[in-house]
Amino acid sequence: MKTKLTCITLAAFAVPALTGCLSGKAERPALEPQSSVAIFDSFEYSGNDSIYNANPLPDESSFYNPVLAGWYSDPSICTNGEGDYFIVTSTFTFFPGVPIFHSRDLVNWKQIGHVLSRPSQLRNMEKQHVSGGIFAPAISYNPANKTYYMITTNVGDGNFFVKTQDPFGEWSDPIMLPEVLGIDPAFFFDEDGKGYIVNNDDAPDGKPEYPGHRTVRVVEFDPATDKCVGERKIVINKGCRPEEKPIWCEGPHIYKENGKYYLMTAEGGTSTWHSEVIYRGDTPFGPYTPYKGNPILTQRTLDAGRKDPVTCAGHADLVKTPEGEWWGVFLGVRPVANDRENLGRETFMMPVKWTEDGWPYFMTEGETVPLVVSRPGVTRGEETTFGNYTRTDEFNDSTLGMEWMTLRGPATGYYSLTENPGYLTIKCAEVKSAEKAELPYVCRRINHHDFNASTNLTFVPETESQSAGILLLKDETHQYYLARTKKGDSHLIELRKVTDGGSASVASKELDPSLSSVDLKVKGKGLEYSFFYSTDAGKTWEPVAEGVDAGFTSTAEAGGFTGTVVGLYASGAE
């Protein structure tokens, strides 16, 4: 058994790897197996992407894109005007919902919690697809009442918002907005104290002229009553060049600068034709005139064979610093080959420039998203959300760390950190990983193309239906499961592949039934996964299967809006 795991810094890494290190366990005897539960002693995740090793950061004010590496999609950013910045991203059906990150300098980000941290805030998640649930959260600050708002869509429940005056603490229960139809709502609070909600909706009268024909609509919002006021009005129909039949004008935001209102939206869908466009008007309701230089952000015209590409750039949000600088966040994808990857849509950030005639833009068409960005005068800290690092969890706390998630609910009926203190204990519940249900599964994002994820497992299956181990999950029908299993009198370390046809064995190795503890490891390298086990506390690793197709769990093959997650799972029904 692993008695102690410590946080490891790899000398070749460009960014120090100290974040997430928890105190190690004291030396102690091996834990005895317990009936129908899996006991995980630890979990270690390490990433070592060659792009960071080949491009060390040039100075202490520099940072890597993506600034939030791994599946952190649909970013939104706000400031209170006093030097505090906050970013939120989508979580779909994962719990808790909507991670919130804080920074004082736009370079050093730290997760401070989740906006949707209670089941009462995440309703009707059962039976939703992994990529259902919470879409495109938008965070805003209203200086008139010193209140933060997060507004979003739960595709199983409708549009709603929550609010707080302390973003480091708890947020309210959902306040529903039944009159705001469609998706992707965002608040704008004007200098006179009035509020507005802007969002994506159906074509006029629900009669699209072509697939992807959508509108952007605005309605006034009263912060005193938390209700909408007056008529919702269409301010954008189709997109910035209607004659070209643009698709999916979505993720809208309104800003104000020098007395003018700016409406920014994504266009082109969230795949490789994604882009961002900008409009300008004299009121929040327009009329809005599109910028002739649109799009202000896209990577769609670049050579698909270029080195280290960033694709799908769009779904952006802007923020202004007290010093008058403008910065923006947006999502992008880093494919390995043929649009395949397992990281999902990640959060990128870069400075925003302005034209002489008053239009903001990220880049001109043909420019590439930069790998390295600098904010002069800022000192990068050791705890980073980007670059290479190793993070270890010994499960010594009574609650899970902020990087951990469950599916469709808190799963506290399935796992415990107090039943065996210092361990994560998961019940072999009568539920399969392919079900649209709350699962006995605790997972985290994959943040690197090249990564290792390992754990120590104490578990002896009592029946052929019981299993426990490491589960790589993209959705209900795209999974790899490295597990300890039982077949007849034989005990196995087995790799299973879960597809729409069910679960099938890919490879297996026999295990001595007298061994109750085993170490498991998944190694990802680009578009390949390899799976290993160890019976000598990680001194030597035996392969179960190597060079397995990782493209199977990519968005390009599986679809959906998330990235692949890796975590610890047990079942009595597999």
State how far the Cα of 548 lies from the Cα of 47, in Å rounded to an integer: 19
State how far the Cα of 552 lies from the Cα of 340, in Å rounded to an integer: 9
Joined tokens for residue 183: 């998706």
Of 73, 19, 78, nearest to 46 by C-alpha is: 19
CA distances from 47 to 10, 70, 523 (A): 10, 11, 10
Bond into 287 cis (ω within 30) = yes
- Establish how many alpha carbons lie within 13 A of residue 119's alpha carbon, considering only the half-sphere containing its beta carbon: 11
DSSP string, 282-300: SSTT---EE-TT--SEE-T
Residue 196 parent element (H or E)? strand 195-201
- Nearest 10 degrees: CA dihedral of 477, 479, 483, 486? 30
Is 202 in the active site? no
DSSP string, 70-98: SS--S-EEEE-SSS-EEEE---BTEESEE
State how far the Cα of 332 lies from the Cα of 305, in Å rounded to an integer: 17
Which entry of 49, 74, 250, 346 is annotated as an active-site residue?
Answer: 74
509: helix, coil or strand? Answer: strand
Which entry of 32, 126, 231, 244 is annotated as an active-site residue?
Answer: 244
Is 74 in the active site? yes
The strand pair at 478-487 and 542-549 is best described as unpaired
Q: Locate tokens 């002739």: which residue?
A: 292
- DSSP letter at 551? G
Contacts 24+ apart (CB under 8 A), 379-382: 379/60, 379/61, 380/15, 380/57, 380/60, 380/61, 380/62, 380/63, 380/107, 380/108, 381/108, 382/16, 382/18, 382/19
Active site positions, annotated: 74, 244
